[in-house]
């Protein structure tokens, strides 16, 4: 894809593309000096995220409404933003017990682009449109387009197509008033300024994007009842560490001893929620499962507690 003169001029004005004179001599710095410089630059990121909290809050509230109705959350990105989306989405099944189809990521260039650079894929407008169609994006879904520059053609095309199909659309960018923002219903603009290495948006921009996606996945899941207080009660105990966490969770909520917690988990297919309901209410596994189902999987409601 060849840029026209107008698009070239646009790139030169983007905060994420500017070369900051403050960092012009980093190749002359000692390791300690450069580490301090990067740490100081990174310290500005939380403040930039904080300034965008009203935009973030509005987008999360809208996303939660659709997911409560059975919708999905889909991250779309290219390069570093795409990989950050993949990372956040891939953590949801073990942490919150979601299915891989409920929260997932689409990266320009496909799965191989996660580990191998495929930079040209970000310019493929048709691929962005086709990816949304292939995922059968619908009215209950939320598509979050992640693009540091805010002009990535793959992401902009995906947002436009998702919006045309009736989905909720969110643009997460690190520049203001961008094509991605114009294509989406909700705009989250986290302005972190120029990078220590000019244009290397895996740095501050990438950190900002991960912080925002942490909020998205965590807050939406909390709103969907995937935690009990701050306890990870929908955890999938798929290894030794997580099985021990499951035991601690059951004991914390029920007051049971270790032997009783282990037994409850064993007979309840290692479902933390079900084991807790069974112990607290004195139910067998089938009854505990039915109690959770009756209360839409919400542990607090299944235990008869007020939200």
Q: Which of 7, 36, 91, 244 is catalytic?
A: 91
Indicate if 287 belongs to the active site.
no
DSSP letter, residue 129: H
Q: Which of 7, 61, 122, 195 is catalytic?
A: 122
Cα–Cα distance, 268 to 59 (Å, whole number): 36
Phi, psi of 64 (to 5 degrees): -60, -40
Indicate if 136 belongs to the active site.
no
> Which tokens belong to 7?
């698009």
Cα–Cα distance, 233 to 221 (Å, whole number): 11
CA-based nearest residue to 69, from 146, 139, 133: 139
DSSP-based three-state secondary structure for 146: strand
CA-based nearest residue to 195, from 57, 28, 20: 20
Sign of CA dihedral 290, 292, 295, 301: positive
Annotated catalytic sites, by residue?
91, 122
């Amino acid at each position: 894809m060849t840029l026209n003169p107008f698009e070239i001029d646009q790139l030169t004005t983007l905060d994420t593309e500017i070369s900051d004179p403050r960092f012009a001599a980093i190749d002359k710095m000692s390791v300690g000096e450069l580490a301090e410089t990067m740490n100081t630059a990174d310290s500005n990121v939380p403040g930039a995220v904080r300034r965008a909290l009203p935009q973030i809050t509005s987008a999360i509230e809208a996303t939660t409404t659709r997911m409560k109705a059975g919708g999905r959350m889909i991250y779309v990105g290219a390069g570093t933003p795409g990989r950050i989306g993949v990372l956040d989405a891939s953590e949801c099944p073990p942490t919150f017990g979601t299915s891989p189809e409920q929260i997932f990521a689409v990266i320009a260039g496909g799965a191989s682009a996660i580990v191998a650079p495929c930079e040209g894929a970000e310019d493929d407008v048709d691929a962005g449109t086709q990816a949304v169609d292939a995922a059968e994006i619908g009215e209950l879904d939320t598509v979050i387009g992640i693009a540091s520059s805010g002009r990535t053609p793959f992401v902009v095309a995906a947002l436009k197509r998702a919006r045309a199909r009736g989905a909720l659309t969110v643009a997460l960018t690190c520049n203001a008033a961008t094509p991605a923002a114009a294509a989406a219903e909700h705009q989250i603009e986290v302005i972190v300024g120029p990078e220590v290495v000019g244009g290397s948006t895996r740095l501050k921009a990438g950190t900002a994007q991960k912080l925002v996606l942490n909020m998205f996945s965590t807050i939406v899941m909390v709103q969907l009842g995937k935690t009990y207080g701050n306890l990870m009660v929908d955890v999938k105990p798929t290894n030794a560490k997580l099985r021990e966490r499951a035991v601690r969770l059951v004991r914390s909520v029920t007051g049971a001893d270790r032997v009783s917690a282990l037994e409850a988990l064993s007979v309840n297919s290692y479902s933390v929620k079900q084991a807790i309901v069974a112990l607290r209410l004195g139910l067998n596994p089938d009854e505990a499962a039915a109690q959770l189902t009756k209360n839409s999987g919400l542990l607090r409601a299944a235990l008869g507690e007020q939200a």
